[in-house]
Chain A
Amino acid sequence: MAAAKVPGVLGSFEHIDSAVEAIHGLKRSGHDDLTVYSAAPNHELEEALGTGSSWVRAFTLIGALTGCTAGYAMTTWMSYDWPLLVGGKPTAAFPPYTVIMFELAILLGSLSTVTGMILLPQLKKIRGRAFHPRFSDDRIGIFVPCPSDRAEGIKRLLMGAGAVEVSHEA
């Protein structure tokens, strides 16, 4: 197992139902600060952990609205700053500018979504928690941060749920 900075117990699971059982058991015994690793997102794990929905959507909305507004403001201001007057037609014309507004809404909406995807996971400090390369392959990992005196109890709980490998990361 990789060296860990945060003390705790790391369990490795082959079966999804074992991992779900372990999460329920840990929650019942008061361990809410878990880190669960998996190679792909899984609804059963999400339900067991009770994770809420992500605030990435706020980044998407704000980015898209900013892009749309910027598209309108930029085209209109620039049209008046350098007027191209043709046959009495409006200096700033809304219909053709919707193309620019739309493109900038998509562009800034996408870039701010990615910003949200990068920033939001940083809110939960998981740096230094143990990880094993098999978690990106075919195993599910559960890391439970805890002091050394509680490690034995957690190891027993994880083994009882069906963990194939459990280690104490001090």
Chain B
Amino acid sequence: MTAVTHEPHVPTQTHAEVTRDVVATLGTPSRGYYLALFTAIGMFLIGLGTFVMLLKEGLGLAGYSPPGFWLVYITTFVFWVGIGHAGTLISAILFLFRSPWRTAVYRSTEAMTVFAVMTAALFPIIHIGRQWIFYWLLPYPNQRFLWPNFKSPLIWDVFAISTYFTVSTTFLVVGLIPDIAAVRDKVTGWRKKLYGLCSLGWTGSDNQWRHYSRGYLYLAALATPLVLSVHSVVSWDFAMSIVPGWHGTIFAPYFVAGAIYSGIGMVLTLLIPLRKVLHLEHMITEYHFDNLAKLTLFTGSILAYAYIMEYFVAWYSGSVFEQTTFFRRAFGPMWWAGWSMIICNAFVSQLLWFKKVRTNLTALFVISIFVNIGMWFERFVIIASSLANDYLPYAWGQATPTWADWGILIGSFGWFGMYFLLFARTFPVVAIQEIKEMIPMPRRKGA
């Protein structure tokens, strides 16, 4: 592990070493890589097979029955959208704050964001039942002379998710261009031609940098409110309704904090093995993980506060429906899910107050798995428990997930993993250009 110096954010390599080390990650993959890739493809095929069965049989196969018409698919949709928040937080918000530790980790988190949003976007389509007419959600002139209802939060969600996907992909691609050019100038043969094509004629001239640097700054400025808005809009899918347990004004900040918390959790899960596999231990150091862990602690604490407030507001409202919903979350038939969420998110994250835990990668990896599990359960608890016990006791009923739910869930991890692994071997996972920007250029006449 690299020793933390007095200026830990300044890389110790030279410019040439940075290019060499990052380009080396694009070499011939190891057996372990192929094993991981084929496992991901296998998981994706399980999901694909399940989806074909869903097309044939309908959503009853996934345990959809009144009143549980939102279950694992919407839970997993919110889970993946949440994962997608860490990337843009690190790449855009921390860029505006000039936070030096983001540089080494932002590229991989940005890629994670794009693939997580790609995964999330599948779920509303899977969930709507007649998947082949999903385009009815979009405003387009049609023979029925109908337009979408723009007062519906579900339509806001279509706009929010598609905008987020487009902007985060744009941000990733724009950031990649100078790095692809650096790779182009190092490789030979067909790879040189391919990277040359992808680099869009980038030479790093003063004229290109002038417009690029400004444009990147404005993209970051636009992406910043977008990050905060997207999960707010997702939260309004719930909060705009009158379902007990959903109809809360704290939902937007509560969801945003949860999204960032889960996103950083996934960043840790991916980066800890990735830096070892790609031999990037000297670039992604203890210092970066310490900062990621602090962010996890911060957002985890906000989440703990939100959990307390949810229970407090339910009690303070005097509404018997709210009180019943929250009582049942803790002591009803789904108590195990409710407590899993609280323990994994509110309690486990508090271990990160200790520097020894924050700088121990094994401990961090284990905590990150708890974060992932806890955040999936949070969405499951919110959705399943509230729908199960609505206002009318005669309409109560607990929908149970089936193999079709788990098949699609497994498939989503395969779909995400497949893209992430392919990206990690095709494009630089560490931003060459931004790392170089942090390294002072050598001087003939001394510093």
Contact = CB atoms under 8 A, between A and B. Distances in A.
Interface of A: 14-18, 34-42, 45-46, 49, 51, 53-54, 56-57, 60, 64, 74-75, 78-79, 81-82, 84, 93, 96-97, 99-100, 102-104, 106-107, 109-111, 113-114, 116-118, 120-121, 124, 126, 131, 133-138, 140, 162
11 contacts: A41-B213, A79-B147, A99-B233, A110-B166, A114-B174, A114-B215, A117-B215, A135-B204, A136-B185, A137-B15, A138-B19
Contact of B215 (A56, A96, A133): A56
Contacts of B239: none
Contacts of B215: 54, 56, 60, 113-114, 116-117
Contact of A39 (B213, B216, B436): B436
A36 B167 CA distance: 30
Interface in B218-270: 218-219, 222-223, 225-226, 229, 233
A133 B444 CA distance: 22
Contacts of B441: 15-16, 42, 140
B341 interface: no
Contacts of B402: none
Interface string B413-447: 00000000000000000001110110001111100
A35 B16 contact: no
B150 A106 contact: no
B206 A99 contact: no
Instruction: Assign chain B's interface to a size class.
Output: 35 or more
B182 to A, nearest CB: 5
B139 interface: yes
Nearest to A80: B147
Contacts of A117: 174, 211-212, 215-216
Contacts of B216: 117
A121 B213 CA distance: 12
B156 A113 contact: no
User: 3 smallest A-B Cβ distances: which pairs?
Assistant: A133-B185, A117-B215, A138-B15
Contacts of A114: 170, 174, 215, 219
Contacts of B146: 82
Contacts of B434: 40
B276 interface: no
Contact of A138 (B16, B145, B219, B445): B16
Contacts of B182: 39, 136-137
Contacts of B205: 35-37, 121, 126
B159 interface: yes
A162 B444 CA distance: 8
Nearest to B16: A138
B210 interface: yes
A55 to B, nearest CB: 8
B222 A131 contact: no
B234 to A, nearest CB: 12
Given A15-B442, A54-B211, A102-B229, A93 B151 contact: yes
Interface in B370-398: none
A38 B139 CA distance: 46
Nearest to B224: A106
B186 interface: yes
Nearest to B229: A102
B14 A138 contact: yes
Contacts of A106: 163, 167, 222-223, 225-226, 229
Contacts of A118: 200
A104 B436 contact: no
Contact of B160 (A82, A103, A140): A103
B163 A104 contact: yes
Contact of A40 (B14, B218, B225, B433): B433
A61 B167 CA distance: 16
B207 A124 contact: yes
A92 B234 CA distance: 22
A157 to B, nearest CB: 16
Contacts of A51: 206-207, 210
A56 B218 contact: yes
Most B C-beta atoms less than 10 A away, residue of A74, A96, A106: A106
B400 interface: no
Nearest to B149: A84
A35 B445 contact: no
Contacts of A126: 203, 205, 207
Nearest to B431: A40
A111 B233 CA distance: 21
Contact of B214 (A57, A75, A79, A110): A57
Contact of A78 (B139, B206, B442): B139
Nearest to B155: A100
Given A40-B433, A104-B159, 10 more contacts: A15-B445, A18-B444, A35-B205, A81-B147, A103-B160, A113-B219, A126-B205, A137-B19, A137-B186, A138-B15
Given A49-B206, A60-B222, A100 B150 contact: yes
Contact of B218 (A14, A60, A74, A100): A60
B15 A39 contact: yes
B433 A79 contact: no
B209 interface: yes
Interface string B120-157: 00000000000000000001000001111111000110
B150 A79 contact: yes
B426 to A, nearest CB: 18
Most B C-beta atoms less than 10 A away, residue of A35, A39, A84, A104: A39
